[in-house]
A and B are shown apart, each in its own frame.
Chain A
């Protein structure tokens, strides 16, 4: 059972909001709330893309991303990185770790939707 987007976010409110807007956009959603659970969930849920928060408990988003990029079969997974720090350094690290997109909190919902759509390779109005 594959899903469209796996969300890795520890803040319950933000997770709820993301879940709401992505579902509303028509995608199927899975979620985890800490860094250690991400890779396992990716293997299990086979998402088409990953929406990854950087500040995750237990293992940071960047560590997770690094692991994914090094894992056979996972390294091509599109990853959208979400960060609340929003500094240039976070963006640079994300680029180095080959994140596919980068969104800074607080974001506009439309911004997230459009980034997800782009990573999923869908055109506006396709669904």
Chain B
């Protein structure tokens, strides 16, 4: 048995150590930003303030009574942290941007900076947390009593002090301690690095202590298996089938809500967060911490149930097991662990609550009562703030003690904690709506939180006084005024449910329903819309410093709002910063001079036109409340107009590119049109030429009857020849036009190319002889089969050979034909020793109606032959090209792919 004096001395010494850590921590962060104290590790450890003495002692008790149910308390937070991306990330970002200091501040800020909502949330938080504080007091009190025993000898200085007195002493000590800790100075960002350092240290202490006890139990019980086996032999049902029922679901929901809504969790996770990326580490490290913390819960509980005498309080197994084994120092260590759990919770919770109380209730009241106090210096306000916090801390611990006093007859720790969880869970719907639902309105949020609170107070909070108040007991049994459907644990006739499930169901259901319905029925004010946008779009806005500057003079605020909405953050900030440095005042203290308003108006006019700018500013400056809303509306519309014009700009850029494409298409069309005109002009010329001869000779024949027979014959044959030429021309035009459209009037079939070549040479032989020349063969391919049409291939070859004959003006004209097979292709070359084709004409030679300038006198063709030949060869998947031949004349080459069988 340890003496009470020793226990208390140890506790005080431990508190002194904490104080030292906090002091050093504050100094270090002030001197050197960053470092260990701003690391993800310390951040994660401080978050474990979630694990209070309820976890340290109560989880064992809960496990002893209800088996695995206690796990639900860890599961909700695990989900929230693993899914940090969805909720926590938003909360942290928004709170940094908007300088949010608490849950109340968050909701108030989101819903149009409503002070009424802030007050409501603060009041609810203080009331809902009272049972939780009481739980810590009870745990500390019980633990002191457990460790110090009940003998008068051991009680030492505690002799004659009962449980209530002890609890009061603990509460008073805690209040003093927290005041010393948390209200030494006022930080603008409400960050307490020293406190966080101490909390992180306590996290290590409580985890180590708990694991130490766990290991001791394992050692004493002979390992996991024997402990479980013994428990089973004793008939202890660890895995009761109804563990995972509705109550379990409700507990998961509550712990999910608690890790977000509990004022101390919000303080540590969101407000004290110095780097958004720490969340990433905490997302796995914190669940890991909770796992380590819960690892030994069940073994301790089971071993306690088997090793301790019946009737021993399972909540105190962590202490009583080592004590009964004579391990006094381990018990003292465990006591310090539990003490750590309780103190860290109380410190952070009361700091968080005191910030809420002083910021949202005390300060507004003081300022209203003494309007002149505003003109006082900054020190006065700061001291006022600190005093109001100290007062709040006393009030909060006082309420906790009161609750403890009224419910002191209840044994278990866990149910008390769940009452608090259910209370703060009433903030969850509003918080989620704040983050994700733009349409949620202030009226809806206020009503929802209020309804949820009333239902909770009736069905969960009030019943906890059942044992201490006869009235409450009567209401519980009969309902108020004997209205049975208002019985706290059977509301609206819903009976047979676990009281916790019942309370959670009705309070959250009515809370959510109110939020949704009232939101849909009410309109939002301009400021609400503005804030809703800032919150819901927290990751959608560029820059996004929000309006962290807007605190202070109302007129400057309003002007800044308007400037920000119209000009954007950057320009508005630049404008106000310039004014601030010109006047030597603080940003927030700018008193808008006429010159400044004029400058602002000019800036606004640049964006929205002079008239609108003037109307806007005169409305703001005249300070009419309704006009401000109108102005915000106007500013919003301006913003929309700006966005619209940006969209237009984008659209017009798209239009420009479309126009460019159209322009290109147009140019191509014009070129095509020009080509068509040129073609028609050429056709016209080619048709008119034979027509001219025909007409001229016809008229001659008509005019003069006395023409001689021979002359007459000659003229008539010219007319005939020119008519044929006309026909050929028209045929060729149609042929070429069809080929150019991609039509092919034939099916490619296997053709003996060599035979076709022989035939073509034969056809041209007569023409060659007429010119006194010969078509000579050079080397020939042995045999070649190509996919072609024999007549069309012949047409091409005849065209090439006859051209070579016709346009050869050499003295000893010569045409050479050769063929060969090469790389799977069949190749024919027709070359002559004529004047050749100028390099400049190489590209034009295949154009329609093109004739070489040096063409000879016989130009019976229309200049379409080569164009047609090239098209025909292309339709046979080959090429016709003009190449540099071996002789000085022209050399045309036809290349056709060989059919496969001949490749072999």
Contacts and interface: CB of A to CB of B under 8 A. Distances in A.
Nearest to B851: A57
Nearest to B725: A13
A83 B148 CA distance: 131
B550 interface: no
Interface residue tally on B, bucketed by range: 20 to 34
A106 B696 contact: yes
Interface string A73-102: 000000000001111000000000000000
Contacts of B700: 17, 20-21, 109
A122 interface: no
Given A16-B718, A87-B681, A106 B855 contact: no
Given A14-B693, A17-B696, A20-B700, A57 B681 contact: no
Interface in A7-56: 10-14, 16-18, 20-21, 24, 33, 55
A84 B692 CA distance: 8
A10 to B, nearest CB: 8
A20 B708 CA distance: 13
Given A17-B693, A109-B703, A57 B688 contact: no
- Most chain-B Cβ atoms within 10 A of its Cβ — which of A10, A14, A18, A110? A14
Contacts of B691: 105-106
A14 B694 CA distance: 9
Nearest to A11: B689
A105 B689 contact: yes
B684 interface: yes
B455 to A, nearest CB: 95
A14 B703 CA distance: 17
17 contacts: A10-B859, A13-B697, A13-B722, A14-B692, A55-B685, A57-B854, A84-B685, A85-B685, A86-B684, A105-B688, A105-B689, A105-B692, A106-B694, A106-B696, A107-B692, A107-B695, A107-B696
Contacts, number: 68
Contact of B857 (A33, A107, A110): A33
Nearest to B686: A84
Contact of A17 (B684, B697, B857): B697
Interface residues of A, number: 25
A58 interface: yes
A124 interface: no
A126 to B, nearest CB: 20
Given A13-B722, A20-B700, A58-B853, A106 B685 contact: no
Contacts of A1: none
A7 to B, nearest CB: 12
Interface of A: 10-14, 16-18, 20-21, 24, 33, 55, 57-58, 84-87, 105-110
A85 B681 contact: yes
**Which of A33, A55, A109 has most B Cβ within 10 Å?**
A109
Contact of A57 (B689, B690, B722, B855): B855
Contacts of A86: 684, 688
Interface of B is mostly: helix
A5 to B, nearest CB: 15
Nearest to A55: B685
A13 B693 contact: yes
A108 B697 CA distance: 10
B696 A18 contact: yes
Q: Which of B695, B703, B851 has the most CB of A within 10 A?
A: B695
A14 to B, nearest CB: 5
Interface string B673-693: 000000001001100111111
Contacts of A55: 685
B695 A106 contact: yes
A109 B699 contact: yes
Quick one: which of A16, A18, A24 has the most chain B CB within 10 A?
A16
Nearest to A108: B699
Nearest to A105: B692
Contacts of A12: 857
Contacts of A110: 699
Contacts of A87: 681, 684
3 tightest CB-CB pairs across the interface, nearest first?
Answer: A17-B696, A13-B693, A84-B688
A36 B716 CA distance: 32
A64 B418 CA distance: 112
Contacts of A85: 681, 684-685, 688
Nearest to A15: B693
A17 B691 CA distance: 12
A105 to B, nearest CB: 4
Contact of B688 (A17, A21, A58, A106): A106
Nearest to A85: B685
B853 A14 contact: no
A16 B693 CA distance: 9
A56 to B, nearest CB: 10
Contacts of A107: 692, 695-696
Given A85-B681, A86-B688, 18 more contacts: A11-B689, A13-B696, A13-B697, A13-B722, A14-B692, A17-B696, A17-B700, A24-B704, A57-B854, A58-B853, A84-B684, A84-B692, A85-B688, A87-B684, A105-B689, A105-B691, A108-B695, A108-B699
A24 B699 CA distance: 13
A54 B707 CA distance: 31
Contacts of A13: 690, 693, 696-697, 718, 721-722
